[in-house]
Structure 1
Amino acid sequence: MAFSRALVALLLALAATAVSAAGGQYEPASCDGHKVTVQNLCDHDLRLNIEPLANSKLLFSNGYLLPRGTHREFPVCAWTGRVKLYGADMVEFHLGHEGGGWYQLTPGPTKSTIPVSCTPHGKLQGHCPTAGCNRSKCFEHSVPGGNCHGVSEMKIVYCST
């Protein structure tokens, strides 16, 4: 049975659309393992909110419940946006297609009672320290200058005080 070029092109386009739709909110796995990880080291569950920027897709729906003592990985090729949690500083970051990154923690309207840190992982080059606080120590509070390269993962960790 012979197919016309137009029919073959249409079938290929439909297959590409189906593959894209099946991916839903995540990017393809062909991005060298790039991901965003959120970890909950608090003694209670956390309800997270997200604000994607620069045409980034949702990593999770607003009001996402992250149980205590767990973490969740979200594969991405690149992502820009903010992760928000009531009682913690807002984490804003960018993870680029080629491993460039920047990140900062911005105090919220209320006093932060949940320490949070943002740490890039990968074959880091440049100025890429941990930003934020853990249970006992605070670090650089922002790295917005764009001098952080070789990033394959941004890890956000929430802790109990």
Structure 2
Amino acid sequence: MANFALLLLAAMAATAISTTSGAYTGCATPRKITIQNLSGRDLHLTEQPLANSPSLFPAAGLVLRHGTHAEFPTCIWTGRVAAPEAGAALVEFHVAPDGGAWYQVDNKQYGAAVRVTVTPHGRPLQGHCPAAGCRDHGQCFADRVPGGNCHAVDELKIIYYSA
């Protein structure tokens, strides 16, 4: 029985080695999600991680004070971020370990007291990477990245503005 256990352990170790040799080993370049608050009020932010993404902030949410920002280093993240008490549009996005990004936010935010944009940053960005959502003074952009054709993203920046 002891020989069987040793043989089983050796087989498991060999499988683990062969599996990890071609497996994903982490980010060569860490990515960052930055959330900035220029809304004129403190914002209570909530998140909904998807696809086994870890939480960015505590389960109770994050209170982001006016005039501040928070940075979240990540390798890969998929989910939604919201400021429900402020009535701001829901932001949904994905940041991939290779720098690919997909994001969307409603660009019909005319009645909202707090508006939100999503903007990718990279050196240089590749593909089609427009700003999405609406800024202050009614300036609005695209509502999503068509086909997910945005690459070389180092940072995805979410900014909340006053209307």
TM-score (norm 2): 0.75
Report if aligned partners of 2:98, 2:152 keep a CA contact under 8 Å in 1. yes
Give the CA RMSD over aligned residues.
Answer: 1.9
Pick aligned residue for 2:62 from 61, 64, 82 = 64
Report if aligned partners of 1:80, 1:94 keep a CA contact under 8 Å in 2. yes
Structure 2 alignment gaps of length 5 or more: 1-25
SS of 1:145's equivalent? Answer: helix
Report if aligned partners of 2:27, 2:98 keep a CA contact under 8 Å in 1. no
Distance 2:144 2:162 in 1: 21
Partner of 2:10: none
Deviations 1:103-161 (Å, cap 9, x if unpaired)? 00148xxx532110000111211110100111021001111511001111110000111
Deviations 1:82-114 (Å, cap 9, x if unpaired)? 00112111000000000011100148xxx5321
Distance 2:132 2:27 in 1: 28
Alignment map for 1:118-157 (pairs within 5 Å): 118-122=118-122, 123-136=124-137, 137-157=139-159
Partner of 1:115: 115
Partner of 1:93: 93
Aligned residues: 131
Deviation at 1:70, TM superposition (A): 0.1
Deviation at 1:30, TM superposition (A): 5.9
TM-score (norm 1): 0.76
Larger helix percent: 2
Deviations 1:45-82 (Å, cap 9, x if unpaired)? 00000000011000002421001100000000011100
Structure 1 alignment gaps of length 5 or more: 1-28
Instruction: State the 4+ residue runs in structure 1 displaced beyond 3 angstroms.
Output: none
Distance 1:55 1:88 in 2: 25
Deviations 1:6-43 (Å, cap 9, x if unpaired)? xxxxxxxxxxxxxxxxxxxxxxx965241100000011
- Percent of aligned positions with the same letter in both sequences? 53
Larger strand percent: 1
Partner of 2:162: 160
| One-letter amino acid of the counterpart of residue 150, structure 1 | A
Q: For the pair shown, which has the larger CA radius of gyration, 1 or 2?
A: 2
| One-letter amino acid of the counterpart of residue 72, structure 1 | A
Distance 2:95 2:151 in 1: 9
